[in-house]
Structure 1
Amino acid sequence: MAKQVFAAGTIPWRRVRTPSGKDELMVLLIHRRKQRDVSFPKGKLDPGESMPQAAVRETREETGLRISLGATLGTIHYELPGGGTKIVQYWSAEVSPKTALASTFKPNSEVQALEWVAASAARDLLSYDADRELFDVFMRLAAPGLLDTFSVTLVRHAKAQARSEDQPVDHLRPLTEGGDRQAHTLAPILRSFAPKRIYSSTATRCLETVAPLAELIKKDVREQECLSQDFWDEGDLTLTRRLIGKVVTRGRSAVICSHLPVLPDLARELMLASGSLPGEYVEDAARLPPAGFSVFHFSRSRPGAGILGVETYPLKH
């Protein structure tokens, strides 16, 4: 099998007020010393690292910017000089004025310079066709004003202990040792999307799944009976629909942990709350293994524009 190298990166962007009083979209390009090229921040995954984590880390290492991930831009593939293929996954990443000022970048042996350029001029400066195609995807979001995004992440709880004589009550079943490891693996990956709120089913296995994330980002877990399987079994999803509508209306990134039978309805409610077109992608995003998750991206200013993208991760362990 041909060698495959996995990497991840971002297109950092910001809006700058021009002397004429208009906001201009700017993107960040990096000038690499060794390759003598102009591209976007990216780099190979460290052992055991996920794509989202690598994108955040590489952006920080190459630019000094501490970013979180916005809308997914997909992947690019290109052949390596020595044989094999490099696969790079990208996200947009908004850079606030505060974040830009806090950059710790200094020219080094890898990155010679950073350059903020007007988005209208950036494409012609890029060295590679693959980067130009990626930038075209970015601009398809920018043109209708959909770059300012938030995400809603649906998480299936990690592996739980089976019901037994010692624990006959389903919603009290805790995680297995392997499930606990999954929960701790999940936490830094989910942090890459900068969730502001964490919602969970009241079942013990769900609460234990998001506990490491809550500790990592210093947020309380909001326990919701309407996310539990027991509630779902009763068949009235009025409160569930109300909760999902509230999450979408708030326009702030959130993580929602629930159960396999409940996830298809949660994904469907996200579709309905944002006026999205139906499709198999909704069912596919809800078909998750233990500790798997799907990230749904929406426009913050125009949530009714529908789901902008979905990325699904069956957690490896």
Structure 2
Amino acid sequence: MTGLRSSVGTEPAATGRSHTPVVMTAGGLVWRRRGGELQVQLVHRPRYDDWSWPKGKVETGESLQGTAVREVAEETGREIVLGRPLPGLQYLTPDGRVKRVHYWASHRARRKKDAAALAARAPVAPVDRTEVDQAEWLSVTEAAARLTRTSDRGPLDALVHAEEEGTLGTRALVIARHGRAVPRTAWHGAERDRPLTPAGHGQAAALVPVLAAYGVEHVISSRWERCATTIDPYVRAGGLRPSYSENLTEAQHERSPSRVAATVRELLEEATESSVLCTHRPVLPTVLDVLGRHAPRAVADGLPSADPYLEPGEVLVAHVADTPGGPRVVATEKVSPPVW
């Protein structure tokens, strides 16, 4: 994983060429500013007598994003919202397994601003003091010195670099392709009414914890059935009022791609909260083109460039920083929510 772009969906505990078991974990570097100083939160684990970033193992059926949010809440007692991805770590455990850790820059959730995202989340267990007995806010200099493992400084360095560039604080613009739909050849009704398959409904449900992890508070979707149904579980879970647009449908995009481009530009340039836009495969090239025009070359070059761009039910998370020169897409992630 890099600080610019990562492909961090849910990776199962699989075996590589060496058949070494891989333990997937995720967590966050929770940050805040106090008196003009950047601070981060460390936790102490009495079992290991170490200071580290809050993190933990991926549970069955859980996305990496869901794991990060849950584990930070369980270890610090506070809910968070994920921001831009940070460099991850990989190392061997004493029992010979590979541990792979994914991190995100994160900030504490706010009850009013992040109300929908918090409502859409599952309850989190209280802090287990036998697992974590201290959680402290420290300056980045103090944190670097306090960390037990030198390797844990890597994501901290990336976080500090983003702060120095003015791109640490971000909001998410999530681009979702609708879930798997009934094949065109098997559907005899109107194209706009073609529904999701049972697998597609599963993909729609799996999107909920991912969107909640990124603090999505605004939903806009193609008016067609398969898109509206894809974002409906999150709309219901978060108690949101979605916006449905005819401009995001396949038919309208074919007539006027510029209207799709204008919608994406508006979300980039005028939105103040994290959003999700749900649309169709043929519409994605126009959406991605607008994102690329708002991104530095290194990020733009990493955007999906080949059909189908996103698989059914897959999302692209664009992390947007509001800079003096306008909104910039400073990192992206392609996420495939797990369906169980």
Normalized against structure 2, the TM-score is what? 0.84
AA of the residue aligned to 2:107: E
Corresponding position: 1:95 with 2:118: no
- Partner residue of 1:11? 29
Partners of 1:76 and 1:88 within 8 A in 2? yes
Gap change, CA 1:95 and 1:300, over 3 Å in 2: farther
Q: More displaced, 244-253 or 208-217?
A: 244-253
Alignment of 1:59-208 (within 5 A): 59-95=72-108, 108-163=129-184, 167-208=188-229
Which of residues 274, 298, 301 in structure 1 aligns to 2:320?
298
Contact (CA 8 Å) 1:148, 1:301: kept in 2 or not? Answer: no
Is the 8 Å Cα contact of residues 316 and 332 (structure 2) preserved in structure 1? yes
What's the CA shift for 1:76?
1.2
Q: Which residue number in structure 1 is paired with residue 53 of structure 2?
A: 40
Q: Do residues 313 (structure 1) and 335 (structure 2) align? A: yes
CA deviation after TM superposition for structure 1 residue 283, in Å: 2.3
Contact 1:141 1:147 in 2 (8 A): yes
Of 298-307 and 33-42, more deviation after overlay is shown by 298-307
Q: Which residue of 1 aligns with 2:16?
A: none
Separation (CA, whole Å) in 1 of partners of 2:304 and 2:186: 35
- In structure 1, what is the Cα distance between the partners aligned to 2:337 and 2:135? 34
Gaps of 5+ in 2: 1-18, 113-124
Query: C-alpha displacement at 1:302, in angstroms?
Result: 4.8
Q: Is the 8 A contact 1:33 1:111 kept in 2?
A: yes
> Are residue 251 (structure 1) and residue 272 (structure 2) matched?
yes
Shift of 1:268: 1.3
Cα gap change, 1:79/1:175 in structure 2, threshold over 3 Å: closer, same or farther? same
Matching residue's letter, 2:184: R
SS of residue paired to 1:233? helix
- One-letter amino acid matched to 2:264: I
Once the two structures are superposed, residues 62-114 of structure 1 have per-residue CA deviations (whole angstroms, 9 ceiling, x without a partner) of 00011111111132111111102101111111136879xxxx97671111211
Counterpart among 232, 236, 240 of residue 260 in structure 2: 240
CA distance in 1, matches of 2:197, 2:211: 21
Counterpart AA for 1:9: G
Q: Could you tell me which residue of structure 1 aligns to residue 3 of structure 2? A: none
Q: Specify the code of the residue in structure 2 equivalent to 1:89.
A: H
Counterpart amino acid of 1:32? Answer: R
* Alpha-carbon spacing, 1:175–1:302, altered in 2? closer, same or farther (3 Å): farther
The 1-side partners of 2:182 and 2:99 are apart by 39
Identity %: 29
Which gives a bigger RCO, structure 1 or 2 (Cα 8 Å, sep 6+)? 2
Aligned-pair distance for 1:170?
Answer: 1.5
Query: In 1, are the aligned partners of 2:90 and 2:98 still within 8 Å (CA)?
Result: yes
* Alpha-carbon distance, 1:167 to partner: 2.9
Partner of 1:213: 234
Matches within 5 A, 1:276-287: 276-277=296-297, 279-284=300-305, 287=309
Name the aligned partner's letter for residue 16 of structure 1: R
Q: Which moved more, 1:201-210 or 1:222-231?
A: 222-231
Q: Which moved more, 1:297-306 or 1:187-196?
A: 297-306
Structure 1 letter corresponding to 2:89: I
Distance 2:93 2:325 in 1: 40
Q: Distance in 1 between matches of 2:186 and 2:131?
A: 59
Higher mean C-alpha displacement, 28-37 vs 89-98: 89-98
Deviation (angstroms), 1:58: 0.2
How many residues of Structure 1 are paired with residues of Structure 2 in the alignment? 307
- Cα 1:193/1:165, change in 2 over 3 Å: closer
Q: Partner of 1:143: helix, strand, or coil?
A: helix
Residue 163 of structure 1: how far off its partner (Å):
2.8
